[in-house]
Amino acid sequence: MRLLIVGTLLGYITEAGRIALDRGAKVAHAETIDQALHALRNGKGADLVMVDVKLDVAKLVDALKSERIALPVVACGIGTDTQAAVRAIRAGAREYLPLPPDAQLIAAVLEAVSEETHALVFRDPAMKSVLKLADQIAPADATVLITGESGTGKEVVARWVHRKSRRANGAFVAINCAAIPETLLESELFGHEKGAFTGAVARRLGKFEEATGGTLLLDEISEIAPRLQAKLLRAIQEREIDRIGGGNPVKIDVRLIATSNRDLEAAVRAGEFREDLYYRLNVMQLALPPLRQRPDDVPALAEHFARKYSTSNGLAYKALTDAAVTKLKAHSWRGNVRELENTMHRAVLLSPTDSIEPDAILLQGGHTSGPAPSAAIVANAGDARSADTLAAAGYIGRTVAEVERDLIIGTLSHTLGNRTHAANILGISIRTLRNKLKEYSESGIKVPMPGEGERASV
């Protein structure tokens, strides 16, 4: 994680930075809001900003939003000034961190704000063979195309390749091409000069320049519009880019990794993806098998997620029983690792004992070793425990449409507005998700934008 700390905080800033460094973060420092914005605009990327609550937190948050820099902000201040904390949260900060810094609290904030730990957990021979190939190609600078169904772990493998490469000490910059409209994606990738278009209040470097010396991940590359495909092809061939509104090309030094959950060869045949760009990207390919073809990975991942969500919810670790593992291995996992992660999160919360039994594992759709969750609920309608579970979850007395709406908005908030990740978690198409969100917006419901989350309301 890349952490940008803004402010002086009477020396506590040094201690907070040291703790973050000990936790594996890369730390940069800016004394003022303007200095922080200047750094972010000029390619000094970050995954999290910690800002002194005495500074203008609202100015920072508003600037990030207006310039489409999706970045969570955590306010911090000396002591426990309740009013300052409230003002910071209202201004848009995700959390308030009291100082002097506590090591465990900073670690918790870093982990909570980081969308995922990017741990690569595997045991199945099918996955081992893929990672063996990844290890072989990692040291080179060749472009890599990672393919596989949604939720198989393509970004995690991309980070694995980066960590094994000669660029491991450089930045790893990821951009989801499906989550950003075409009109904004060009600026995100290539940057722009001041005044290049309405809202371009200052020069901003794009992801290509931000990733200089490191790796740039183009997630869901198949969703890039044809016009941008041509510009991307030139960037790969010439190793230079043109900022929007710029007069001179800019040399770039990045290693490109692209991912796709679509059959790009079929997209080429259908005229939806440039053939020359496909061959430029497909120098080396890593094809990730779906989870149903990696049965030995299921118990390993399940245990990993059980530990993760036991810890994050302040619970003692709950081990899986043999019967629970059998049930998990019999499921088809259409949503792959993301579906398994959500299943284990629910199981940790629903398990009434110190171990996870099959009853706590609620599966969605597909083939399972037992009845589908909805059937189980119907079959056990007279069971007081099922009724209590539904009541505790707030389902009773609400319409299906209301529950669906809250589930969609809540999932989108969890993914910080990332439409593609939310659609994958929900098991629906990105088109269906966008139609639902359009419907909600038109009815006056707040829909999280990219970079927003957790505080979204309905």
Q: pLDDT tens digits for 281-326? A: 999 999 999 999 999 999 999 999 999 888 877 788 989 999 999 9
Q: How many CA atoms lie within 13 A of 285 on its CB side?
A: 15
Domain 2-113 CATH class label: alpha beta
* Residue tagged 């493998």 (tokens): 157
Q: What is the pLDDT of residue 303?
A: 95
Where in the chain are the domains? 2-113, 125-289, 292-392, 400-442
Q: What is the pLDDT of residue 302?
A: 95
Angstrom CA distances, 338 to 32, 75, 272, 366, 452, stand at 39, 30, 28, 15, 20
Indicate the DSSP class of residue 250.
E
Architecture of domain 125-289: 3-Layer(aba) Sandwich (3.40)
Q: What is the pLDDT of residue 276?
A: 95
CATH topology for 292-392 is Helicase, Ruva Protein; domain 3 (1.10.8)
Q: What is the pLDDT of residue 220?
A: 92
Q: What is the pLDDT of residue 380?
A: 38
Tell me if the bond preceding 100 is cis, omega within 30° of 0. Answer: yes
Domain 400-442 CATH class label: mainly alpha
pTM, to two decimals: 0.67
Q: What residues of the chain score a pLDDT lower than 70?
A: 9-11, 13-14, 79-81, 101, 104, 107-118, 365-398, 451-458
Q: Residue 347 and residue 138: Cα distance in Å, rounded?
A: 36
For residues 157 and 147, the answer to whether their CB atoms sit within 8 Å is no
Angstrom CA distances, 213 to 9, 253, 455, stand at 32, 6, 35
For residues 168 and 187, the answer to whether their CB atoms sit within 8 Å is no
Q: Residue 156 and residue 136: Cα distance in Å, rounded?
A: 17
Beta strands in 185-307 (DSSP E): 215-219, 240-241, 250-251, 255-260, 284-287
Angstrom CA distances, 307 to 23, 148, 180, 434, stand at 19, 26, 33, 33
For residues 244 and 186, the answer to whether their CB atoms sit within 8 Å is yes
Asked if the domains at 2-113 and 125-289 fall in one CATH topology, the answer is: yes
Cα radius of gyration (the chain): 23
**Sequence-separated (6 or more) residues with CB below 8 Å from residue 105:** 97, 98
Sequential DSSP letters for 334-403: TTHHHHHHHHHHHHHHH--SSEE-GGG----SS--SS--HHHHHHHTTT-HHHHHHHHHTT-TTS-HHHH
